[in-house]
Structure 1
Amino acid sequence: MLGAYLFYRMKVPAGALIGAILFTAIFNIMTGMGTFPTAMKTVVQAIAGGFIGQRITRGDLKEMKTILGASLLMFFCMAADTFVVGFLMFRFSELDLATALVAAMPAGLSDIALISTDLGADGTLSTALQLVRTLFAIMVLPQVAFRVCARLDGEKNEMDPTRAPGYKAPEIRTWKNALITLILAEAAGIAGKLAGIPAGAMIFAVFAVAARNVKSGHAYLPKKLRLAAQCVAGTIVGVGITMQDVENIRFLLIPALILVVSLVLCNYLFGWLIHKVCGLDLATALFGAIPAGVSDMALISTEMGGDAPKVAALQLVRYVGILSLMPAAIQLLTTVLHK
C-alpha cells in the first residue's frame, strides 16, 4: 500500500499498480514473507470488469464488428510472434525448444507456471522469463504508449471532461449506484470464477455491469476503488516474485533480452497495424497490443487514455485464444521435431 500511495502521489501513470509491485517484490525478496489471499485475484478481476462494463453504452455495442476484426488480427499476430521469438531464444541460448516456446507465450504468469511441465518445458526457466515479460509489459510499455499518444495527440489534455469516455454525470455518481454496481460485479465475478472460464471473473463482471449500464446508464464505480484495485493487483504480482526468480533471470540474459526487444517491436508494430487496418484509435490499439494481464491492462487503460471496453476485448481474445490453442500447437510442434 505504501508503494502504491507514493507512486500515485508522484503522478506516475498507473502508479498505484507499479508502486505496489515494486515495494511488495522488494519485501518478498528480502524476507521471503510476502503472502496475499489468492481469492483477492477474483475480487480484483471482478472490479476491473466492473470498470470496463460501466463504460459500455449502446453506441459501443454498435462498434463491436470493428473490434472482432481487430481482435482476430491481434490473436494471429501474437501467435506468429510466439513461434518467431521462441525459435530465436532456442537458437541463440541454451534453452530447449519447448521451454523457449512456452516462455514466449503472451499469457498469464500463473497460467504458464501451471502448464509448462505438461508441455515438456522447464517450469522454473519458463516462469522466470515470463516474469521478465510480465513486469516489462506492465511497468514500461504503458508508460511509453501513454507518452507516444500524448505527443501525437496534444489536444487530448484539453478535452471537455463531459465528453470523455466513461464520463458519469454528478447525479449518477452516488454511493447507492456504486454499491449496487460493485455487488453486481462481484456476484458475476464469483459466478465466472466458478464457471472455470479463463479470466471468467472479469468477463462475467463486464457483461453484468454493461447490461445495467446499457439499460439504465446508472452503472458507476468511484475512482478510489480503481486505485485500490490497482494496489491489490500489484501486490498479487509482487508476492509472486522471489529471490529464486531474480537468480534465474541472471542466467537468462540472452533470452530475456530477445524477449524484451520483441515486446517493444511487436507492441508498436501490432498496435500500428491494428490502428491502420482496423481504424481503432492509436491509444486503444497500443494498449490492446500489450501482452500483459487482462485485468491489469483494463485497469491501466481506464486511467491512461485507451478505450477500456475495446482494450479489454482485444486482450481477452488474445488471452483466451493463446491459452486455448497454443499449448496444443507447441506440443504438436515439439513432438514432430523430436521424432
Structure 2
Amino acid sequence: MIRKFVFPHKKIIIVLSLAIVGSFLGVYFQLPLGALIGSFILIAIAQIAGLGAKPLKKRTRQVVQMVIGGTVGMNMSHELLDEVVYLIFPGILLAILHIMTGLFLAMIISKFFKVDIITALCGTMPAGLSEVAVIAKEHDADIEYVVLMHLFRVTAVVILIPILVHFL
C-alpha cells in the first residue's frame, strides 16, 4: 500500500530535482535566462531519454499561473504605479504594435511552414515562456513547437540586444 502511494510521486520528485539542477547549471554557465533555460534543457533531455513524466493537469497549471501572477503582483509599488501612469500611452502603442507584428508573423509561419495557426499565434505572441506554454496547452497547440519558437526568440533577444546597445 505504501509503495503504491510513493511510486506516482517519484517522477514529480525527479522532475523537480532536474529543474533545480538545470536551473543552477543555467545560472552557473551564465546562459541567457539561465534558470529558465537550464531547467528547460535538462528536463527536455530527460523526457527525450525516456523519463516519461506526464504533462501537468489543468488544476496544477492554474496553480502555476497563480504563483506567477502573485510574483508579478509582489513587485508592485507606489513608485512603479507612478511610472505606469506616465508610460500608459507608449505602453499601449507598443503592445498593439507587438501584437500586430505577432499576428503578421503567425500568418507567415502558418502559410509557409505549414504550422497550424493556433500554434503559430502562441509561438509569436508577446508573453513569458510559462504563460505561453499554459495558453498553448489550453488551446491544443503543439506545445513543443511553441516552446521552441519562444525559446529561440527570447534567446536571440537576450543575446542580440546587448550587442546592439554596445554598438549604438
Shared fold (TM-score, shorter chain, > 0.5): yes
Contact 2:106/2:117 (8 A) holds in 1: yes
Q: Cα distance 1:282–1:315, how it changes in 2: closer, same or farther (>3 A)?
A: same
Q: Which residue of 2 aligns with 1:194?
A: 24
Structure 1 residues 250 and 270 mapped into 2: Cα distance closer, same or farther (>3 Å)?
same
Give the count of matched residue pairs. 156
Q: Aligned-residue CA RMSD in angstroms?
A: 2.2
TM-score (norm 1): 0.42
Q: 1:273 to 1:229 in 2, by over 3 A?
A: same
Give distance in 2, aligned partners of 1:175 and 1:322. Answer: 44
* Counterpart check, 1:286 vs 2:121: yes
Match of 1:184? 14
2:110 matches 1:275: yes
Residue correspondence of structure 1 range 58-137 to structure 2 within 5 A: none
Query: Equivalent residue of 2:53, what SS?
Result: coil
2:64 to 229, 239, 247: 229
What residue is the counterpart of 1:314 in the other structure?
A: 149
Which runs of 5 or more structure 2 residues have no equivalent in the other structure?
Answer: none
> 2:7 & 2:94 partners in 1: Cα distance?
44
- Structure 1 vs Structure 2: percent identity of aligned residues? 25
Give structure 1 regions of 4+ aligned residues with deviation exceeding 3 angstroms: 174-178
Match of residue 76, structure 2, among 236, 241, 252: 241
Where do residues 292-307 of structure 1 align in structure 2 (5 Å cutoff)? 292-307=127-142
* Contact preservation (8 Å) 2:15, 2:53: no
Cα displacement (A) at 1:177? 6.6
Query: What is the one-letter code of the residue matched to 2:154?
Result: Y
SS in 2 for 1:238: helix
Determine the C-alpha separation between the residues in 2 that align with 1:228 and 1:210: 26
Give the superposition deviation at 1:248.
Answer: 0.7
Does 2:50 correspond to 1:212?
yes
8 Å CA contact retained: 2:99, 2:125: no
Give the Å deviation of 1:178: 4.7
Letter in 2 for 1:267: G
Determine the structure 2 residue equivalent to 1:264: 99
Quick one: which amino acid aligns to residue 280 of structure 1?
V
Letter in 2 for 1:318: R
Instruction: Determine the C-alpha separation between the residues in 1 that align with 2:167 and 2:68.
Output: 34
| C-alpha separation in 2, matches of 1:272 and 1:228 | 32
Does the CA contact (< 8 Å) of 2:136 and 2:146 recur in 1? yes
Q: Flag structure 1 segments of 5+ consecutive residues without an equivalent.
A: 1-173, 334-339
- What is aligned with 1:253? 88
Q: Which moved more, 1:290-299 or 1:313-322?
A: 290-299
Q: TM-score, normalised by structure 2?
A: 0.81
CA 1:265–1:221: 2 relative to 1, 3 Å: closer
Q: Secondary structure at the match of 2:50?
A: helix
3-state DSSP class of the match of 1:212? coil
Residue 98 of structure 1: aligned partner: none
Judging changes above 3 Å, is the alpha-carbon distance between structure 1 residues 221 and 183 closer, same or farther for their aligned structure 2 residues?
farther
Q: 1:205: Cα distance to partner?
A: 2.0
Counterpart amino acid of residue 73 in structure 2: G
Paired residue type of 2:85: R
| Residues 252-303 of structure 1 deviation map (CA, whole Å, 9 limit, x = unaligned) | 2342132022122112111111111211111110001012111221122112
In the TM superposition, residue 322 of structure 1 has moved relative to its aligned partner by 0.8
